[in-house]
Amino acid sequence: MKIIADQQIPHVAQAFSAFAEVTLCNGREITAEKIQHADVLLLRSVTVVDANLLEHSQVKFVASATSGLNHIDLDYLQGNDIGFAHAKGSNARSVAEYVLSSLFVLADQNDFKFKDKTVGVIGCGDVGSRVIELLETMGVKMIKNDPPLKYASGNGSGSSEKYRDLQELLSADIITLHVPLTSDGSYPTHNLLDMEFLSQLNDDVILINTARGGVINEVALKNHLACHENMKVVLDVWEDEPNIDLDLLTQSDIGTPHIAGYSADGKIHATEMIFGSVCEYFKLDHKWNPDFELPVTNSLELPLGSELDDQDAIQMAILASYDVRGDSASLRQLPGISIEQRGQYFDELRKNCPVRREFPATVFHLPEGRKTLAGKLKQLGFNVKTFS
């Protein structure tokens, strides 16, 4: 079996080499010529999979180590009897933790408490539901929007009533996007947030996009930001990646190079998922356990006499686990890079982003008396140990 794989999929050669010849490639340089004799393609979101890539190949199976699908022509795969799988939900916790890190940075900069905020979540699938779970731990009021889930749960039934119309999110203090990028179907999301939508938001709204760049009309967003200086924007995804809009980067409060889902835990989980999918499709009796060592766990201690309130203590834990400002500062260097090298610089930031672990890899040591705080930290996923 011959496999062409994106070199950015962690441990992919190690995982599949027991039963396949694995060739690693830059995902943006995977061409029809390179994959002509491959049996399997293992890809990420930077490679478009359609007739142009596959038409003259012998590829039998495609797997994407990502949650998103907008780079995959599923109709073509199905019509040509090519198997497919993706790592749906593999990085959901990672993205949700990115959202929390960003919000705690903004809370510190703008001096607000989460209990005073209402958060609108657009898209309540694997990632959105995890965001909701973590934010509800903070006592945040939530407004949930997901038309497909509302329809699936039955219009007018009690279960569907928890999903509100998009118009009802306009009053939210914070809006975070977790939808796939689609241009057709019953609920297209391309340019979902356009000038009309943006014009109805609160002047000081916080807008977070970790979904796909095309979900927001970037021209409309730039124009809106130009006359709404109190609005805060967190952008991890951009149209025309890796050649992103530098003006929009300058206007954003936090801007990162599409790395919200890039925890070490999430990436390894994605590799495990596509490994299992390939073995299942070809009926292979192989097992793989990653032979690697993740970085040691973080260890934090809240002093016995500390007067930090719960939000400040949680902020300390979250930002010690992952502080989004590091990745944002790196992307801020983009305007100083020559025009010819900017796309490569963006990709290099993704390729070489600092290793980060998810919350369960952080142990928080607390005085026995902080039981409420201990409960919240455990709900967020942290390991908690107490001392007297």
For the sheet containing 2-6, what is the strand order? 21-25, 2-6, 40-43, 61-64, 83-86
C-alpha 300/C-alpha 238 separation (Å) is: 35
DSSP string, 223-269: HHHHT-TT-EEEES--TTTTS--HHHHHH-SEE-SS-TT--HHHHHH
196 is catalytic: no
Q: Is the CB of residue 222 less than 8 Å from the CB of residue 201?
A: no
Which residue out of 258, 269, 356, 357 is catalytically annotated?
Answer: 258
Which residue out of 71, 93, 212, 357 is catalytically annotated?
Answer: 212
Residue type, 27: G
Size (the chain), residues? 388
Give the residue carrying structure tokens 């010849």.
21
Cα–chain center distance at 138:
20
254 half-sphere exposure, CB direction, 13 A CA radius:
27
348 is catalytic: no
C-alpha 230/C-alpha 119 separation (Å) is: 17
Which residue out of 11, 28, 228, 241 is catalytically annotated?
Answer: 241
258 is catalytic: yes
C-alpha 335/C-alpha 342 separation (Å) is: 8
Residue type, 372: T
Q: Is the CB of residue 190 less than 8 Å from the CB of residue 181?
A: yes
Q: What Rg, from alpha-carbon coordinates, does the chain have?
A: 22
Supply the residues annotated as catalytic.
212, 241, 258
